[in-house]
Amino acid sequence: MGAQWKAKGKAQAADARGKLFGRLVKDIMVAARNGADPASNSRLRLVVEQARKASMPKDTLDRAIKKGAGLTGEAVNFEHVIYEGFAPHRVPLMVECLTDNVNRTAPEMRVLFRKGQLGTSGSVAWDFDHVGMIEAEPAQAGADPELAAIEAGAQEFEPGEDEGTTLFLTDATDLDLVSRALPAHGFTVLSAKLGYKARNPVDPASLSAPELQEVEAFLAAIDAHDDVQNVFVGLAG
């Protein structure tokens, strides 16, 4: 699970594709507020690249950019909200939402957190670092993640969520710089985003199998909410 929790299993993965597109469309629209040209809008460029790698249809991508940039006359009023707290058995987490109605999202999140504990602002954030997260895979045989991290300017690296991938961690301000540099050092960037990494993650070995299942079920319910963009969990491994 590590830095970002992802649903597991074939059925969940199939379901996740539609949700991924929905999340990317929101990210694109919010990023496009600062300009519709990815060449001069680094945040938009990163999410557009991610959308293309996810095989988002070009029409969907273009429509999201135009809508976000205000070129269609439609208002885009998403608000970025972070909920922090604990899953069952005191596993800390940060939940990022983009919502067009906080008055709807907030009570729904309180209901979802009943099996855990919803914290106040700052109650859990102190135990997470705000970092750049770049998921990448080798573009050529023998590509060395340690060397690539050093030369591209990443702070550290670790195995990615998917087999064969590497997660490069950067200072939040260096996300775009490092993502641009990695291809020259043998890695293809799959996604790049700002996120939260736990400073003191819980060791899954300290939880029993039923306890770990409780945590997984709680995270799956949080992740399934339409307004949730990312779930960052303090669970090692």
Amino acid at 189: V
- Please tell me the predicted confidence (pLDDT) of residue 1: 44
Q: What is the Cα–Cα distance from 132 to 136, expressed in whole angstroms?
A: 13
Q: Residue 208 phi/psi, 5° resolution?
A: -75, 165
- Please tell me the predicted confidence (pLDDT) of residue 161: 82
- Please tell me the predicted confidence (pLDDT) of residue 15: 63
Amino acid at 207: L
Q: What is the Cα–Cα distance from 132 to 181, expressed in whole angstroms?
A: 14
pLDDT tens digit at each of 237 positions of the chain: 445 656 555 445 556 678 889 999 999 999 999 999 999 998 899 899 889 988 999 999 999 999 999 998 887 789 999 999 999 999 999 999 999 999 999 999 999 999 999 999 999 999 999 999 999 999 988 899 999 999 999 999 999 888 889 999 999 999 999 999 999 999 999 888 899 999 999 999 999 999 999 999 999 999 999 999 999 999 987
Is residue 134 a contact partner of residue 178, using CB atoms and an 8 Å limit? yes
CB atoms within 10 A of CB 80: 11
Query: How many residues make up the chain in this entry?
Result: 237
Structural domains of the chain sorted by starting position, each given as residue range(s) with its CATH number in brackets: 10-68 (1.10.10.200), 80-126+209-233 (3.30.70.980), 129-198 (3.30.70.980)
- Please tell me the predicted confidence (pLDDT) of residue 73: 85
Q: What is the Cα–Cα distance from 31 to 76, expressed in whole angstroms?
A: 11
Helices marked H in the chain: 10-31, 42-53, 58-68, 102-112, 145-152, 175-181, 209-223
The residue written with tokens 């855990």 in the block is 116
Q: Residue 168 phi/psi, 5° resolution?
A: -95, 130
The residue written with tokens 């990815």 in the block is 38
- Please tell me the predicted confidence (pLDDT) of residue 2: 45
Q: Residue 183 phi/psi, 5° resolution?
A: -60, -30
- Please tell me the predicted confidence (pLDDT) of residue 162: 82
Q: What is the Cα–Cα distance from 92 to 233, expressed in whole angstroms?
A: 6
